[in-house]
Amino acid sequence: MPVYKAPVNDTLFVLNDVLGLERYGNLQGFADATPDMIEAIIGEAAKVAEEALFPINLSGDREGCTRNDDGTVLVPNGFKQAYDQYVQGGWIGLAVPEEFGGQGLPYTLHAAVGEYMSSANMSLMMYPGLTQGAIAAILVHGTDEQKATYLPNMVGGSWSGTMNLTEPHCGTDLGLLRTKAVPQDDGSYKISGQKIFISAGEHSMTDNIVHLVLARIEGAPEGTKGISLFIVPKFMVGEDGSLGARNGVSCGALEEKMGIHGNSTCVMNYDDATGYLIGAENKGLSAMFVMMNEARLGVGLQGLSIAETAYQNAVAYANERIQGRSLSGAKAPDKKADPIIVHPDIRRSLMTIKAFNEAGRAFVLWTALKSDIAHRSQDEAERQNADDLLGLATPILKGVLTDKGFDHAVMAQQVFGGHGYIEEWGMSQYVRDARIAMIYEGANGIQALDLVGRKLALNGGRAVMAMFKEIGDFCEENRGDEAMVLYTKGLKKGLNDLQASTMWFMQNAMAKPDNAGAGSTDYMHLFGLVTLGYMWAKMAKAAQTALAAGDPREDYLKAKLVTAKFYMERIMPETALRKVRIEAGADTMMELAAEAF
């Protein structure tokens, strides 16, 4: 019953009209990505998402995963076939260098495609998603031998990957972790300990699973300075690449979760498992952060993905379900009632989600393009600027798109009334699935702290100044454009609130760091509101430009202008509230004794 159609036109509008991808032909891999090729790839991705992944999304939720007594894990019916179709399409390696079996295409394209895949089946996409994170870490920190041993099979999808950070007593605070690594004479390590919440930790969709595991080498310093990263394959890999004996790692249990039932979330037991150091000794956290940053973009994308699917279903229901009459007179007089899309309160929900999703899509692709520039540009200043903005945008994208993605899945569910609460309609699944994205890869409170506590001050505030400059320049460039006033006015007002709040932190959080913590979540959302508002202003500009040029997508482009206006009128004003909260500071918040709660 649920529906999903990949928003191909919208992706192409962002890539071509808003970001002007063709202008980046000088970046490695971009020359191959001609408009025609992009359209073909996006279209093919849409097909895979709609036809292979989406039809088993609801059934995957119902069936869930099962752990057999021997520790093997069964995934839902159809997952293996769909996974095979996905990897055979070469989707894992879309943006991976060709020397490791990838296609070397823009990461931006990978992100565009990723949205569709997670919209269609988030649980299933987590299997290759984790592999992609592990690939990123090995690409950056692995030795040539490690790259040669692991990457081709991972890129090809016959091996998958995982990230093993969390232990029962430590999640955010990795300094507490206890899993230990004992050096062996042959240069390898024996890894022992327990990891929990390991997504895709065990299954038999792939021939091998490459676990990346944080552990502490015997005798290493306490805290985060004594953590190293290890490769622990499920099956040992011979020098010729052949698979050997089972390694000492196994799935002890599956977690019973609120959602993402199709993904096997495992308790993983390491019992003298053979592991290989990746990156430098005691520098495991920075190696892991390569995966984390990649993963955070992927998780932010999940927020958008689920909100998009939930939205599409709410729109379909609002057009079909007849109930009551329009306040301004019957709109479907031939029927016993009007479709509920005529009711303003239903419109309010649909417009709100639409306004966030379309700006969220632009934000994701804008950020992904920064990643491409940061990694592929020949110009050092350009690389640095892009890298600054990527680092700044990552926690905002993760925190805001997943908070809003969840809120909007709930909002879309509400459109269904009682039917939204019944599992067969699928809306419950979107809500339950979307919920995890606010938590994993760093709970959103941690994203907010990363933004306020690290990213703001980094390099003397270079990144945030660059962002303010980019938005300010845009407003300045369009100062003379009468048709843009509606959008730049709202954007400027939001930017002022953001700049004032940034200043407030500078003046009040140095001496009293709790003031930063107290305002961090509000600041993250304030930054998100302004950034998404910037995306709307850019989209409005692109739509006006295209309309002026006689573009045939007239209705589509005009709808962009209406939605941009809606954002500026009803959503952007939230910046003022966020500013007030930030400026309230920490005093009242921290005043009560712990016992008073």
Which tokens in the block code for residue 354?
């639409």
Q: Print the binding letters for residues 468-507 with a copy of itself: x by CB under 8 A, - otherwise.
A: ----------------------------------------
Please choose, from the candidates 292, 406, 364, 313, the residue with its C-alpha nearest in 3D space to the C-alpha of residue 115: 364
* 292 contributes a contact to a copy of itself by CB under 8 A: no
Q: What is the DSSP code (8-state) at residue 225?
A: G
Q: Print the binding letters for residues 4-43 with a copy of itself: x by CB under 8 A, - otherwise.
A: ----------------------------------------
- Cβ within 8 Å of residue 99, ≥6 positions away: none
Q: Name the helix (H) or strand (E) containing 503.
A: helix 485-508
- Is the CB of 12 or the CB of 237 nearer to a copy of itself? 12
* 513 contributes a contact to a copy of itself by CB under 8 A: yes
Of 352-371, which residues contact a copy of itself (CB under 8 A)? Answer: 354
* 336 contributes a contact to a copy of itself by CB under 8 A: yes
Of 142-181, which residues contact a copy of itself (CB under 8 A)? Answer: 166, 170-173, 175-176
- Is the CB of 234 or the CB of 435 nearer to a copy of itself? 435
Query: Which one of residues 11, 501, 520, 531 is an interface residue with a copy of itself (CB under 8 A)?
Result: 520
Query: Which one of residues 187, 219, 333, 418 is an interface residue with a copy of itself (CB under 8 A)?
Result: 418
Q: Print the binding letters for residues 192-211 with a copy of itself: x by CB under 8 A, - otherwise.
A: ----xx--------------
- Is the CB of 352 or the CB of 488 nearer to a copy of itself? 352
Query: Which one of residues 16, 269, 323, 384 is an interface residue with a copy of itself (CB under 8 A)?
Result: 323
* Residue 413 C-beta: closest distance to a copy of itself, Å: 8
3-class secondary-structure state, position 43: helix
Query: Which one of residues 67, 80, 180, 347 is an interface residue with a copy of itself (CB under 8 A)?
Result: 347
* 324 contributes a contact to a copy of itself by CB under 8 A: yes
Please choose, from the candidates 134, 122, 521, 445, the residue with its C-alpha nearest in 3D space to the C-alpha of residue 292: 134
Of 76-115, which residues contact a copy of itself (CB under 8 A)? Answer: none
Q: Under a CB-based contact definition with an 8 Å cutoff, are residues 563 and 351 in contact?
A: yes
- Read off the amino acid at residue 40: A
Query: Which one of residues 27, 232, 516, 543 is an interface residue with a copy of itself (CB under 8 A)?
Result: 516
* 66 contributes a contact to a copy of itself by CB under 8 A: no
Which tokens in the block code for residue 30?
């971009």
* Residue 400 C-beta: closest distance to a copy of itself, Å: 15
* Residue 427 C-beta: closest distance to a copy of itself, Å: 8
- Is the CB of 198 or the CB of 209 nearer to a copy of itself? 198
CA angle 16, 21, 27 (to 5 degrees): 170
How far is residue 538's CA from residue 489's CA, in Å, rounded to a whole number? 13
Task: Tell me which stretch binds a copy of itself (CB under 8 A): 242-250, 283-291, 379-387, 508-516.
Answer: 508-516
- Is the CB of 190 or the CB of 343 nearer to a copy of itself? 343
Task: Tell me which stretch binds a copy of itself (CB under 8 A): 17-25, 116-124, 253-261, 463-471.
Answer: 253-261
* 243 contributes a contact to a copy of itself by CB under 8 A: no
Which tokens in the block code for residue 416?
């269904």
Backbone angles phi, psi at 329, to 5 degrees: 105, 150
- Cβ within 8 Å of residue 121, ≥6 positions away: 49, 53, 54, 56, 57, 60, 82, 262
**Sequential DSSP letters for 310-351:** HHHHHHHHHHH-B-S--TTS-S-TTSSS-BGGGSHHHHHHHH
Q: What are the residue numbers of the active site?
A: 441
* Residue 196 C-beta: closest distance to a copy of itself, Å: 8
* 536 contributes a contact to a copy of itself by CB under 8 A: no
* 406 contributes a contact to a copy of itself by CB under 8 A: yes
| Residue 101 C-beta-side C-alpha neighbours within 13 Å | 21
- Read off the amino acid at residue 525: H
* Residue 527 C-beta: closest distance to a copy of itself, Å: 15
Query: Which one of residues 383, 514, 547, 551 is an interface residue with a copy of itself (CB under 8 A)?
Result: 514
* 339 contributes a contact to a copy of itself by CB under 8 A: yes
- Read off the amino acid at residue 74: L
Task: Tell me which stretch binds a copy of itself (CB under 8 A): 22-30, 101-109, 270-278, 317-325.
Answer: 317-325
* Residue 492 C-beta: closest distance to a copy of itself, Å: 16
* 344 contributes a contact to a copy of itself by CB under 8 A: yes
How far is residue 333's CA from residue 258's CA, in Å, rounded to a whole number? 43
How far is residue 348's CA from residue 444's CA, in Å, rounded to a whole number? 26
Q: What is the DSSP code (8-state) at residue 456?
A: T
* 256 contributes a contact to a copy of itself by CB under 8 A: yes
Q: Under a CB-based contact definition with an 8 Å cutoff, are residues 259 and 429 in contact?
A: yes
- Is the CB of 475 or the CB of 577 nearer to a copy of itself? 577
- Cβ within 8 Å of residue 285, ≥6 positions away: 174, 214, 224, 227
- Read off the amino acid at residue 241: G
How far is residue 405's CA from residue 278's CA, in Å, rounded to a whole number? 35
Considering Cα of 142, then 144, then 150, then 153, what sign does the dihedral take?
positive
